[in-house]
């Protein structure tokens, strides 16, 4: 018996490679998280910005709480089963009237995880729509394995390598319009992208990237696992603890280590390394 998702949503995930929208919390609650993030951002600007956007759940309580939100974890459990861990997270903040975009890509490409059946909840802390650069998915593309990505390192492309899958047929593309407090969930192999923010306000989304089932192995580099539910067994498992307060020194050290490991994994064999 699923905990949160309907049979139709679970079928949609398997057929199309994503589900959207899913209600997680009220708009007011989401705005509360946004305000806590913006306060933390003001207090610790070097630790929450476009160059330092990875794994904020290891240093800041608002992101840690989102990473453990029961509705999000229930939805993940409906798709992955009762034992899973969190591999990492990314804060995707698109500032107003900027050119930053995300090209067509599959998350699994550089993560070095096997099997590639993991998934990412993306939680909207502001509205996410056509004007401010919501995500767009290509349904059914999680079925064909990892496709070839061109590594462009384009200036405004906010992906690590500016990786892009060329020559796609976009006729069936679906835009994921979310209100604050809703989320989408996408499969590790679903091809997706997002356009620049042409609105006058920030577009803030938080990606729990990704939840992986017990048994999933890190085949490139090392990663640290944050247990989420059940009993998770991963080869060479090193577990992370939760921050007790913003910038809790132990958590900050864990975040530094996790981010270094990520850079090692995500840029393995790359021509260039960027700051994020």
Ligand X SMILES: O=C(O)CCC(=O)C(=O)O
φ/ψ of 239, rounded to 5, equals -95, 150
Which CB sits closer to ligand X, 57 or 248? 57
Which CB sits closer to ligand X, 123 or 226? 123
Taking the complex as a whole, how short is the minimal distance between the CB of residue 209 and ligand X, in angstroms? Answer: 6
Taking the complex as a whole, how short is the minimal distance between the CB of residue 207 and ligand X, in angstroms? Answer: 4
CA atoms within 13 A on the CB side of 44: 14
Distance CA(211)–CA(207), nearest Å, equals 10
Helix (H) or strand (E) segment spanning residue 186? strand 182-187
Which CB sits closer to ligand X, 143 or 250? 143
Taking the complex as a whole, how short is the minimal distance between the CB of residue 105 and ligand X, in angstroms? Answer: 7
Which CB sits closer to ligand X, 5 or 102? 102
User: Which residue is it, tokens 């993991």?
Assistant: 118
Euclidean distance between the first and the last CA atom of the chain, given in angstroms as a whole number? 40
Taking the complex as a whole, how short is the minimal distance between the CB of residue 135 and ligand X, in angstroms? Answer: 5
User: Which residue is it, tokens 């958590």?
Assistant: 251
DSSP code, position 264: H
Distance CA(61)–CA(14), nearest Å, equals 33
Q: And the tokens for 237?
A: 């498992």
Distance CA(156)–CA(249), nearest Å, equals 33
Which CB sits closer to ligand X, 207 or 263? 207
Which residues here bind ligand X, judged by CB under 6 A? 92, 102, 107, 120, 122, 133, 135, 192, 194, 205, 207, 209
Taking the complex as a whole, how short is the minimal distance between the CB of residue 264 and ligand X, in angstroms? Answer: 20
> What is the bridge-based pairing of β-strands 90-94 and 203-207?
antiparallel
Which CB sits closer to ligand X, 168 or 252? 168
Taking the complex as a whole, how short is the minimal distance between the CB of residue 236 and ligand X, in angstroms? Answer: 25
């Amino acid at each position: 018996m699923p905990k949160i998702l309907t049979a139709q949503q679970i079928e949609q995930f398997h057929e199309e490679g994503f589900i959207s929208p899913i209600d997680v919390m009220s708009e007011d609650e989401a705005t509360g998280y946004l305000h806590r993030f913006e306060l933390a951002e003001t207090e610790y600007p070097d630790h929450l910005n476009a160059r330092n956007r990875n794994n904020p759940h290891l240093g800041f309580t608002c992101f840690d709480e989102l990473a453990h939100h029961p509705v999000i974890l229930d939805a993940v459990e409906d798709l992955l089963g009762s034992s899973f861990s969190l591999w990492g997270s990314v804060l995707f903040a698109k500032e107003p009237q900027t050119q930053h975009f995300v090209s067509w890509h599959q998350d699994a490409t550089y993560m070095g995880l096997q099997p590639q059946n993991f998934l990412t909840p993306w939680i909207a802390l502001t509205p996410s729509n056509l004007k401010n650069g919501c995500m767009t998915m290509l349904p059914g593309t999680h079925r064909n394995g990892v496709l070839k990505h061109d590594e462009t390192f384009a200036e405004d492309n906010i992906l690590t390598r500016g990786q892009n899958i060329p020559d796609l047929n976009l006729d069936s593309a679906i835009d994921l319009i979310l209100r604050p407090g809703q989320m989408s969930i996408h499969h590790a192999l679903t091809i997706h992208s997002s356009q620049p923010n042409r609105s006058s306000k920030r577009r803030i989304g938080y990606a729990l990237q990704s939840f992986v089932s017990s048994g999933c192995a890190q085949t490139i580099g090392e990663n640290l696992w944050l247990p989420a539910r059940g009993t998770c067994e991963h080869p060479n498992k090193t577990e992370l603890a939760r921050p007790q307060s913003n910038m809790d020194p132990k958590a900050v050290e864990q975040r530094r280590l996790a981010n270094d490991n990520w850079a090692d994994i995500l840029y393995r064999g790359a021509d260039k390394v960027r700051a994020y």
